[in-house]
Amino acid sequence: MIDPLAPVVPPGSLRTLPQPEFALSGGMRLRPWTPSDAPALAEACLDPEIRHWNRPGQLTEPEAVDRIARWEARRQAEAAVVWAIAPATGDPAADCAVATKAGYPLECTMRGALLHADGWHDEHLHARLRTDAPAHEAAVTPPG
């Protein structure tokens, strides 16, 4: 019999943190779904390509609000995380602040790492290790 591995992230440690947001190439980002996204979710469930690959069923706007609330409840229970794909805010400083506040400190700047329509762009790498201080401590502890 194979012994199970201990959890990489201790149970209960993620539910107290906000769901992180991630910048993507092409001017897009992953972010949490919000109730204001319900009309877009209901509309997306009518798209034949989305229905083919995801089988979401048709949703009314109130049903979409309920589904988004269930996704948040599952995140709080540390059972699953679902992100929306949305246009980026275009504010790299704000993106870095969100990542840092969520407990993902800046590791480095990757020079010329992403190709956009207007050329190569630098990208910041934020990361977190199991051995790092909890996010709420990391956010208030001065470096050094």
- The model carries a pTM of 0.58
Give the chain's residues under pLDDT 50: 138-144
Contact 104, 142 (CB under 8 A): no
Instruction: Output the pLDDT for position 139.
Output: 46
| Three-class DSSP labels, 102-137 | CCCCEEEEEEEEEEECCEEEEEEEECCCCCCCCHHH
Strand partners, 89: none
pLDDT, tens digit, 9 for 90 and up, residues 32-57? 999 999 999 999 989 888 887 777 78
Instruction: Output the pLDDT for position 143.
Output: 44
* Number of other CB atoms surrounding residue 66 within 10 Å: 14
Contact 8, 130 (CB under 8 A): yes
Contact 123, 113 (CB under 8 A): yes
Strand partners, 125: 108
Instruction: Output the pLDDT for position 141.
Output: 43
